[in-house]
Chain A
Amino acid sequence: MQGNEQQAYDRGITIFSPDGRLYQVEYAREAVKRGTPSVGIRTADGVVLAADRHARSPLIERDSIEKIHEIDDHVGVASAGHVADARQLIDVARRQAQVNRLRYDEPASVEALTKEVTDYIQQYTQTGGARPFGVALLVGGIEDGEPRLFETDPSGTPYEWQAVAIGGSREDIQRFLEDEYAEGLDLEGGIELALRALASINDDGLDPTGVDIATIDVESEQFSTLPEAEVSDRLAEFELGGEE
Chain B
Amino acid sequence: MYDPENRLTDAYEPEVGSIPADEGTEDDEAVVKTGTTTVGISTEAGVVVATDRRASLGGRFVSNKQVTKVEQIHPTAAMTLVGSVGGAQSFIRSMRAEANLYEVRRDETMSIHGLATLAGNFARGGPYFAINPIIGGVDEEGSHVYSIDPAGGVLQDDYTVTGSGTMVATGTIEGEYDPEMSIEDARALAIRAVTAAAERDTGSGNGVVVAEITADGVDIDAFGDYASAA
- Residues of A near any B CB (own CB < 8 A): 88, 92, 95-96, 99, 102-106, 109, 111-112, 115-116, 119-120, 123-124, 127-130
Q: Please choose the segment from B42-50, B112-120, B177-185 that sits at the chain A interface, where 4 or more of its residues have CB less than 8 A away.
A: B112-120
Q: Let me know if B1 and A127 touch, CB within 8 A.
A: yes
Smallest Cβ-Cβ distance to B1: which chain A residue: A129
Taking CB atoms, residues of chain B closer than 8 Å to A127 are 1-2
Smallest Cβ-Cβ distance to A112: which chain B residue: B106
Q: Let me know if B9 and A99 touch, CB within 8 A.
A: yes
On whether A130 and B121 interact (CB within 8 A), knowing A102-B11, A106-B113, the answer reads no
Q: Let me know if A103 and B4 touch, CB within 8 A.
A: no
| B60 CB-CB contact with A under 8 Å | no
| B111 CB-CB contact with A under 8 Å | yes
Query: How many contacts A-B (CB < 8 Å)?
Result: 48
Q: Let me know if A103 and B1 touch, CB within 8 A.
A: no
A-B contact pairs, 18 of them (CB 8 A): A92-B8, A96-B8, A99-B8, A99-B9, A99-B11, A103-B118, A104-B110, A104-B114, A104-B117, A104-B118, A105-B117, A111-B106, A112-B106, A116-B7, A127-B2, A128-B1, A129-B1, A130-B1
On whether A105 and B1 interact (CB within 8 A), knowing A96-B8, A111-B106, A112-B106, the answer reads no
Provide the bound-state CA to CA distance between A104 and B118, in Å.
6
On whether A92 and B7 interact (CB within 8 A), knowing A104-B117, A127-B2, the answer reads yes
Q: Let me know if B2 and A130 touch, CB within 8 A.
A: yes
Contacts A104-B113, A115-B105 given; 17 further ones with Cβ under 8 A?
Answer: A88-B4, A92-B4, A99-B9, A102-B11, A103-B11, A103-B114, A103-B118, A106-B114, A106-B117, A112-B105, A116-B7, A120-B4, A123-B2, A124-B2, A128-B1, A129-B1, A130-B1
Provide the bound-state CA to CA distance between A129 and B136, in Å.
49
Q: Let me know if A105 and B113 touch, CB within 8 A.
A: yes
B92-130 vs A, CB cutoff 8 Å, 1 = contact: the mask equals 000000000000011000110110011001000000000
- Top 10 closest A-B pairs, CB basis? A104-B114, A102-B11, A105-B117, A127-B2, A103-B11, A123-B2, A106-B114, A104-B117, A120-B7, A112-B106
